[in-house]
Amino acid sequence: MDASTRAVCTAAAAALVAAAAYVGELPLVSLVSALTLVFAIGWPRLADLPASRGAVVVLVLASAAAIAAVYRTAGEPYLRELPLVLAFSIVLAFVRELVRRDGRERLVESVSGVVAGVLVAVSVVGWVAAGRTAGGVPLVVTGAIALAVASAVSALPAAGWTGVLLTLAAGAGAGAGAGLLVPGIEPQVGALIGLAVGILGATLHELFDHLPSLRRRWAAVAGVVLPVSVTGVLVYVVGRVLVG
């Protein structure tokens, strides 16, 4: 899967997030759960981690715990139980290393890779938390639309700073446009959300799109889902600051 195809697939996944949020909280939670499962399977291959099965188990358990914690939390802040989930997930990552029977090769790389994957995987619950805040669904829809447009534009054959600037402009413009159409979000707020999403998308593009592991199918799928996952917590944080 080449970079353009991954970018288009990321745009489609972001559009699904917007649609699910518009339908209701349960469809959004279901979609987020599916995204985390896909990411959990693909991340060990994307990061080329040893003992990938154990890494998948850790990521699945961490994601499930994070989604359940946010879904069951009553009242702001909806991510207040997330640090506890992260702490137990990090402990679980070390336990995974203790039960390995392959000589524990590349130990530091294995631990750091799983912990990094946990951070990305649990970030997706930001979409659920954002949907429950003041501004709620409009906030999620605006962030998801900005990500979809920015990802689609990043698929264009523009290299270097030209591609980065196009991605930023597309995210900010899409956010502002969503702010004009979606009630409860001002255009300037939408533009700031879109700009933040565009910066994140462009950064992830530069970080991951040249990895040789992306030639593998599940690694490429994880690369598709990764920007959607990380953007979730970004939208929640920026939304709390700008919307309330």
* 3-state SS, residue 101: coil
CA distance 176 to 131: 19
pTM of the entire predicted model: 0.86
Q: Which residue has the higher pLDDT, 95 or 208?
A: 95
CA neighbours closer than 13 Å in the CB half-sphere of residue 100 = 23
With beta carbons less than 8 A apart as the criterion, state whether 115 and 47 touch: no
Q: Which residue has the higher pLDDT, 159 or 189?
A: 189
Predicted pLDDT of residue 159 = 64
Which of 97, 95, 184 lies closest to 138 in space, CA to CA? 184
Quick check: 1 pLDDT over 70?
A: no
85-131: per-residue pLDDT in tens? 999 999 999 998 888 887 778 888 889 999 999 999 999 999 999 88
Mean pLDDT of the residues in the chain: 86
